[in-house]
Amino acid sequence: MSIASASLPHEACAVVSGRRERVGETHGGAGSAPDETNQVLAVHPVANSLKSPTRFALDGVEMMAAEEAIDDAGHELIGVLHSHPTSWAYPSHRDLADAAIYDPQGELIQVIVSLQGCTASVRAFRYLGKGAPLEVELIACK
């Protein structure tokens, strides 16, 4: 959570790298995601070029550096992380609209860290078209 709290009062953002393993075909028809397991291996902080408490945009130069680090490590980009400093870990209308533009196929896991409340909370989603986002199960390993 240090990435999120270090960016206060603004939204933090980062990209998530690791390995994606598809374990089946798509389920549920058109617009559905394939069954897969994502192993997170690294989180790469990227500056929020908007410097806003309610919106984020990944800084282009830092994003390119993060992509190079991901390639050098032999990982793949599996997600985008951002924080909600004053709201719950659920995608806003803007988050959904941005996902429709930047990830229309729902390839990336969208991780939201909420700093509202006494303790930080983390939820992950995948956006599948115009409907509600599909929540992704997070499994922590030591």
With a cut of 60, say whether residue 114 has pLDDT above it: yes
16 lies in some domain: yes
64 lies in some domain: yes
115 lies in some domain: yes
User: For residue 57, what are the domain limits?
Assistant: 2-136
Closest Cα to residue 63, out of 109, 96, 20, 15? 15
Q: What is the mean pLDDT of residues 118-140?
A: 78
With a cut of 90, say whether residue 37 has pLDDT above it: no
pTM for the full model?
A: 0.85
What is the domain count for the chain?
1
pLDDT, tens digit, 9 for 90 and up, residues 51-92: 999 999 999 999 999 999 999 999 999 999 999 999 999 999
